[in-house]
Amino acid sequence: MVKNKNLLAAAKADEAYADLIQWQNEHPEVIKNPSFCYQLFFVALEGRGDRETARLMLQRLDHLVTNDKLSPSSAIYRSVTQAWYRALSHTDSDLPRQAHQIMQTRLEMQPKQQP
């Protein structure tokens, strides 16, 4: 899953999303892992502007908190819920544009490769 953090940082959100979905398909139990839910949440929301997938990951984290598998004060849960509430102020059509801007900023921050 570390690869996906690197892909998102490199503004390769679609590739990170595909890798996470493939990992989930191959290892269905991973949905119980807060780190996986965290990664998929941010890849979906900030990488692709996909509110529905982000909402599903938030619900999964809520379930983990409800069942005492994750602390509500954990950095993972706080970060996801804060991002979710920020996203609520934007329309569904606005989220993909914002995700594109986030990815564009990350691309611009990448070191220039020498030919």
pTM: 0.84
Q: Is 115 among the domain residues? A: no
Within-domain flag for 34: yes
Residue-wise pLDDT tens for the chain (115 aa)? 545 556 655 557 888 899 999 999 999 999 999 999 999 999 999 889 999 999 999 999 999 999 999 999 999 999 999 999 999 999 988 888 888 888 788 778 777 665 5
In a domain, 45, yes or no: yes
Residue 41 lies in domain: 2-109
Instruction: Count up the domains in the chain and report the number.
Output: 1
63 within domain boundaries: yes
Residue 114 lies in a domain: no
With respect to residue 79, please indicate whether it lies within any of the assigned structural domains: yes
**C-alpha span between 76 and 81 (Å, rounded):** 9
Class of residue 52 by CB neighbours under 10 A (exposed 0-12, middle 13-18, buried 19+):
exposed
